Amino acid sequence: MKQVTFRKIKVYYSYAEERFYRVLFVRKDMNLFELGNLLVAYLGGEYEHMWLWNDKIYAYEDFTWVEDSFDSEPVRDYEDYGLDDCILNSKRELHFTYDVGDNWQFNVRLYKKEIVKEYNDDDDIPMGILIDAKGTALWEDMHSSFYDYIILNLPMMEEDFAGFNDGAFKYYKDLAEHFDDPLDIDDYNKHCNEIFKKVNEDMKEFHINTKKESK
């Protein structure tokens, strides 16, 4: 029997906290690389872009390929630090950015609440346990459109998608209409943890090999 400690966090879209968020328990022993992987899964990202973290002083980035920081802040390798190492603001928050070009900005709030759960098998241990959510998913490479149609509630016009493929208007119109559909929490937890395990293993192997080659 193995005991695992989880901490409660809330990750929310910085421009509309109650419009798009996830409240979940995450393993306390995760580093910021692993937690970023997990949050991309829970927010519906497709892992086509990198992410970074910012606390009050430091930026935390991927040192396997980033030569220059995206920020003016001192930079740390996000594989070497966890949430306990971060310097939080007065709301006990730090910032998470997915796709530094499209600039999906999220706040991550740390709560003091922790839970300890017991597991018989390591394979049964989840990295995250979602307990509350609103909003289905971010729109990969379409942040400005997401903001216009979901946050500002502007009417979606077919001519806005004239430069896209033929099915783009219908696809994003459907996403917008169903953005507030409730998530099946149990199914979503299983789905996101499965995605995390596959992606995290692949990325860890890449990081290990890249760091070996750079020595």
Tell me the backbone φ, ψ of residue 136, rounded to 5 degrees: -75, -55
Q: Which range has the worst mean pLDDT, 31-45, 83-97, 153-167?
A: 153-167
Q: Rounded CA gap, 78 and 71, in Å?
A: 14
Looking at per-residue pLDDT, the higher value among 70 and 159 belongs to 159
Looking at per-residue pLDDT, the higher value among 4 and 212 belongs to 4
- Residue 212 pLDDT: 46
Q: Rounded CA gap, 7 and 21, in Å?
A: 17
How large is the average pLDDT for residues 73-88? 93
- Residue 145 pLDDT: 93
Tell me the backbone φ, ψ of residue 157, rounded to 5 degrees: -110, 140
| pLDDT category of residue 213 using cuts at 50, 70 and 90 | low
| CA distances for 127 relative to 37, 39, 65, 105, 192, angstroms | 10, 10, 25, 22, 9
- Residue 72 pLDDT: 62
- Residue 211 pLDDT: 52
How large is the average pLDDT for residues 146-158? 94
Tell me the backbone φ, ψ of residue 148, rounded to 5 degrees: -65, -45
pLDDT, tens digit (0-9, with 9 covering 90-100), for 91-120: 999 999 999 889 999 999 999 999 999 999
Set out the domains of the chain in order of their start, with CATH numbers.
2-136+184-214 (3.10.290.30), 138-179 (no CATH)
Share of the chain above pLDDT 70, in %: 91
Token pair of 119 as six digits = 């597991």
- Residue 123 pLDDT: 84
- Residue 15 pLDDT: 97
